[in-house]
Amino acid sequence: MISLTGLTPLQRELCEIIWNLESTEEIAEWFATLDTTVRPVAHVMLQMIMFEYFDSAPLEDLSQAQEVIQHIQSL
């Protein structure tokens, strides 16, 4: 579950809209309709949603990554 805290009412509204869009095409179309003063805020909200999603995703088998790290350390 994604959770963003400390948002302003505008930021919360933008996040709700972004969350309900179905595709990257819909997001791009919606961004094109935004006022130039709101668009940067919406962009930051989209990034925050993405970062929170990636941070909350469960980690899977990282053995391959560990092998690469060990290989680089041995150089």
What are the backbone angles phi and psi of residue 23, rounded to the nearest 5°? -150, 165
3-state secondary structure of 60: coil
Per-residue pLDDT at 43? 97
Residue 15 lies inside a defined structural domain of this protein? yes
* Predicted confidence (pLDDT) at residue 15 exceeds the cutoff of 90: yes
pLDDT class for 27, splitting at 50, 70, 90?
very high
Encode pLDDT of 31-54 as tens digits: 999 999 999 999 999 999 999 988
Structural domain boundaries, residue 34: 9-73
pLDDT for the residue 34: 97
55, 58, 7: which is closest to 16 by C-alpha?
7
d(CA 31, CA 53): 20
Cβ neighbours of residue 41 closer than 8 Å, sequence gap 6 or more: 10, 11, 14
CB 41 within 8 A of CB 9: no
| Mean pLDDT score across all residues of the chain | 91
In a domain, 32, yes or no: yes
Report the number of distinct structural domains present in the chain. Answer: 1
